[in-house]
Amino acid sequence: MTVNGATPLGATTPEEVAFAQEVRRGEPILEVRDLRKHFPLTRGVLFKKQVGAVKAVDGVSFDLMQGETLGIVGESGCGKSTLAKVLMNLEPASAGSVKYKGEEISRLSGSALKAVRRNIQMVFQDPYTSLNPRMTVGDIIGEPFEIHPEVAPKGDRRKAVQDLLDVVGLNPEYINRYPHQFSGGQRQRIGIARGLALKPEIIICDEPVSALDVSVQAQVINLLEQLQAEFELSYMFIAHDLSIVRHISDRVGVMYLGRMVEIGSDLEIYDHATHPYTQALLSAVPVPDPTARESRDRIVLVGDVPSPAKPPSGCRFRTRCWKAQEKCEREDPALTAREWLEGRARHDSACHFAAERENI
């Protein structure tokens, strides 16, 4: 039986308990419950008829703790960017709830929404398209102050913008320059400065380094970590680069086809993954070490991700899963810690047959 595939790690030691407690320290600053975002598929030009829906995010729940970094990984189409947009209130949620410090924010509008926006900000993926090319750097970073005048009085704004430039490691003298005069890494710093302007508590980073050169990525990651310590930020860090996510995250959530399939601390996910998809994803990552490639045991998945408009019944991963059985077709597995798992393997995983791989 597959259940026996679990590698027992021995009894939960006091050290393990301490570890688990440490991870879950702090209060949740953001509570997401059963969040859904469906994009209707319509037909007809004048009289639109709904013929289905793309279930981009389909029942996602998690907590973001104060001061932590939650990494979200998954392949394109898994809904991680849509999740970010919904949390930012850029797209209305179809169902579910998002609570910021206990207050429901997913259905806010007007000035209440504007107030929440001060606390949740975003860093975008593409530094080439996320800055308005017709505005100077000063105008771009100063815009948050114009929208929320209470944050910085009029006379202090220029100074505030220069301070922000300084904080992200750019020369404050370049306040009058235009974005196209900067390189990708520098533009991303401008984007980060804009995100910091309102002194938010949460920053959602949507693939913040994937458009950057390898040699510049590390600079931006370091900057993000320094800012987190300095301003006590909570990050939701969405990326597809698993090694960067591991480096920066306290906890990691793995998404597949609109669902969270596994979530846990970085150690739990990277070294004790129990969901087959997470295992396949981890094993597929190209390792920049040719000696490791011979020793590692790679799971090559068959086929492609199914369309989010027509997800499979039951477990969504079953069409590509080597463990799939009849039960997987019938029953949608809940995201929960399976009682047969022990130690660090015992974390939330949405698989009926959750188990660690025999040898990694």
Partner 1 sequence: MSTVADQTRPAREEPWTGPLLDVRNLHVEFRTRDGVVRAVNGVNYSVAAGETLAVLGESGSGKSVTAQAIMGILDMPPAAIPEGEILYRGRDMLKMSKEERRKIRGQKIAMIFQDALSSLNPVLPVGFQLGEMYRAHRGSNRKEAKAKAIELMDRVRIPAARERVGDYPHQFSGGMRQRIMIAMALALEPDLIIADEPTTALDVTVQAQVMDLLAELQAEYHMGLILITHDLGVVADVADKIAVMYAGRIVETAPVHDLYARPAHPYTRGLLDSIPRLDQKGQELYAIKGLPPNLLRIPPGCAFNPRCPRAQEICRHEVPPLAQVTEDDGTPVAGRGSACFFWKETLHDG
Partner 2 sequence: MPDRNESIPDDHDPLRNIAPTDSDHLDYVGQQGLAVEQETLIEPDPGKREQARSLWGDAWRDLRRRPIFIISAVLIVLLILIAIFPSLFTSTDPRASDLTNNYLRRPDWSDFFGAGWFGYDGQGRSIYARVIYGARASITVGICVTLAVTLLGGLAGMSAGYFGGWMDAVISRITDIFFGIPLLLGALVLLNAFATRNVWSVVIALAFLGWTQLARVMRGSVITVKQSDYVVAGRALGAGTGRLMFRHILPNAIAPVIVVATIALGGYITAEATLSFLGIGLQDPTISWGVDISSAQKVIRQAPFVLFFPAAALSITVLAFIMMGDAVRDALDPKLR
Query: Which residues of the shown chain bind partner 2 in the complex (CB under 8 A)?
Result: 39, 46, 54, 56, 76-82, 85, 88, 90, 113-114, 117-118, 121-122, 124-126, 129-136, 143-144, 146-148, 166-172, 174, 176-178, 180-184, 186, 191, 194, 198, 207, 210-214, 219, 222-223, 226-227, 230, 240, 308
> How many angstroms separate the CA atoms of 154 and 9, rounded?
60
* 171: partner contacted, choices partner 1, partner 2, none (Cβ within 5-8 A by kind): partner 2
Query: To the nearest 10°, the Cα dihedral for 197, 203, 206, 207?
Result: 90
Q: Closest by alpha carbon to 120, among 99, 141, 135? A: 99
Three-point CA angle 293, 347, 98, nearest 5° = 110
The set of residues, in sequence order, having a beta carbon less than 8 Å from that of 144 and lying 6+ positions away, is 151, 194, 197, 198
- Closest contact distance (angstroms) between CB of 78 and partner 1 is 9
* 113: partner contacted, choices partner 2, partner 1, none (Cβ within 5-8 A by kind): partner 2
Q: Does 185 bind partner 1 (CB under 8 A)?
A: yes
Instruction: Look at the alpha carbons of 119, 120, 124, 129 in this order and tell me if their dihedral is positive or negative.
Output: negative
- Closest contact distance (angstroms) between CB of 214 and partner 2 is 8
- Closest contact distance (angstroms) between CB of 157 and partner 2 is 14
**Residue with Cβ nearer partner 2 (64 or 197):** 197
Helix (H, G, I), strand (E, B) or coil at 89: coil
Q: Does 290 bind partner 1 (CB under 8 A)?
A: yes
Half-sphere exposure of 299 (CA within 13 A, CB side): 19
- Closest contact distance (angstroms) between CB of 75 and partner 2 is 8
Q: Does 75 bind partner 1 (CB under 8 A)?
A: yes
Phi and psi at residue 121, to the nearest 5°: -125, 175
> How many angstroms separate the CA atoms of 233 and 167, rounded?
15
Q: Does 22 bind partner 1 (CB under 8 A)?
A: no
Contact assessment for residue 273 and residue 5, using Cβ atoms and an 8 Å cutoff: no
**Residue with Cβ nearer partner 2 (121 or 274):** 121
Contact region for partner 1 (CB under 8 A) — 82-90, 121-129, 151-159, 284-292? 284-292
> How many angstroms separate the CA atoms of 56 and 78, rounded?
7
- Judged by the rule CB under 8 A, the positions of this chain that interact with partner 1 are 75-76, 183-186, 213-219, 221-222, 225-226, 240, 242-244, 246-248, 266, 280-281, 284-293, 298, 300-301, 303-305
